[in-house]
Amino acid sequence: MQIAKQHINFKNEDLVLTNHRAIYWEKENTLILSDLHIGKTAHFRKHGIPVPDDIFQKDLERLKILINHFKAKTLLIVGDLFHAEANIDFNTFKFWLAQFEDLQIHLIKGNHDRVSKHLITDFNIKLETEVKINELTFVHEHLKVHSNSFTISGHTHPGVMLKGKGKQRLKLPCYQVTKNQIVLPAFSLFTGLNTRSKPKDAISYAFTETSIFKF
């Protein structure tokens, strides 16, 4: 897996955007991501929709590579770590977590994170409504109340539409960055891309499996 990086300065903090849907914050030794949606693939299969099981496995493998590459000690997840009720994917995630003895996980509660407090405790996850570190505020969804804050959020699954010759179209996930806001792409590969909404004056950092570019 090739890891491409784009350094940006956000409220005097050096953040590293990666082409694998997560930001690394070296000063805090933290990986920041959003919308992993654990349980979504199993939920669809339970309802008769033939979704390949390896989609979730690929998400976890990418995350493992990122954790090991950056030697991250903390995962800060800005919402929707989980997708639905507990299912077999939750057991897979618990087994996967066991390999990281010292990894701390902080979860900003998202609209899909409706699992029980007992389950959160079982995963040793610290659940928050929002987190503020230095001058940065981490929330699931950026709202008007946050307009004077420097926020990092998720929720909208941002993407860009590239137009080629004729009717050729290509959708890519992206980060949306303004002077006081970063919207993260969904970490899960099993999510749609929202190419229709974009914060005012945002720069999009789109990416492929090998590179990152802005426009």
Torsions phi, psi of 128, nearest 5? Answer: -135, 160
Residue where the block lists tokens 């230095």: 134
pTM of the predicted protein model: 0.92
pLDDT band for position 41 (cuts 50, 70, 90): low
Residue 80 and residue 111 in contact, taking contact as beta carbons nearer than 8 Å: yes
For residue 45, what pLDDT is reported? 55
Amino acid at 109: K
Mean pLDDT of 168-190: 93
Mean pLDDT of 99-127: 85
Top pLDDT among 120 and 14 is at 14
Q: Judging by DSSP bridges, how do beta strands 125-128 and 104-108 pair with one another?
A: parallel
Q: What angle do CA 157, 183, 62 make, to 5 degrees?
A: 65
Name the E strands within 3-143: 5-10, 13-18, 23-25, 30-33, 74-77, 104-108, 125-128, 131-133, 136-138
The three-state secondary structure class of 145 is: helix
Torsions phi, psi of 151, nearest 5? Answer: -115, 150
For residue 56, what pLDDT is reported? 84
Q: Judging by DSSP bridges, how do beta strands 13-18 and 23-25 pair with one another?
A: antiparallel
Q: Please, what are the domains in the chain?
A: 5-214 (3.60.21)
pLDDT 10s digits, 126-168: 999 999 999 999 999 998 889 889 999 999 999 999 877 777 7
Q: Which of 21, 25, 55, 24 is nearest to 159 (CA)?
A: 21
Beta-bridge partner residues of 127:
107
pLDDT band for position 50 (cuts 50, 70, 90): low
Amino acid at 2: Q
Distance separating alpha carbons of residues 55 and 58, to the nearest angstrom: 5
Radius of gyration of the chain (CA): 17
Question: Please, what is the average pLDDT of the chain?
Answer: 89
Query: In percent, how much of the chain has pLDDT > 90?
Result: 67
Q: Where are the alpha helices (DSSP H) in 72-201?
A: 88-97, 117-122
Q: Where are the alpha helices (DSSP H) in the chain?
A: 40-46, 54-70, 88-97, 117-122
pLDDT band for position 190 (cuts 50, 70, 90): confident
Amino acid at 1: M
The conformational region for residue 167 under phi > 0 = left, psi -120 to 50 = alpha, else beta, is alpha
Residue 9 and residue 53 in contact, taking contact as beta carbons nearer than 8 Å: no
Top pLDDT among 44 and 182 is at 182
